Amino acid sequence: MSRLDKDPNIVEWSSEEHVIPYRSPIDNRMHRYFVDFYIKKKMPNGKIKCALIEIKPKSQTVPPKVINKPNKRYINEVMTWGVNEAKWKAATEFCKDRGWDFEILTEDHLGLKF
């Protein structure tokens, strides 16, 4: 967050203020997705660009590899992936309707090493 505060091109930002409804593939019910960040940035050409940003571990941004004997961990990974995918699809549509961008950032984007 200090990166956002220090960037002179960031006009405005907030955390978990935009709520997007999505249908969970796990229980087929509507839920609320609180996206990590909303950012309004001044671009080099002077235009303002808005984006919703989600921060996730890289491992949660790709579908789990199929295994022959599903165990509890694998089932949990599949469920997490399904919910994340539903959230991100809803966020993509939400942003598209507003002319915004939706981005998913991982530790690679943030320069973190584990």
**CA–CA dist 33, 39 (Å, integer):** 17
CA distances in angstroms from 95 to 18, 50, 66, 85, listed in the order given = 11, 9, 31, 15
Residue 70 in this model has a pLDDT that exceeds 90: no
| pTM for the structure as a whole | 0.85
Q: Which two tokens stand for residue 71?
A: 């165990």
Rg value, the chain, Cα:
16
Each residue of 20-58: pLDDT tens digit?
999 999 999 999 999 999 999 999 999 999 999 999 998
Give residue for tokens 């694998």.
74
Domain ranges of the chain: 2-110
Cα–chain-centroid distance for residue 67? 26
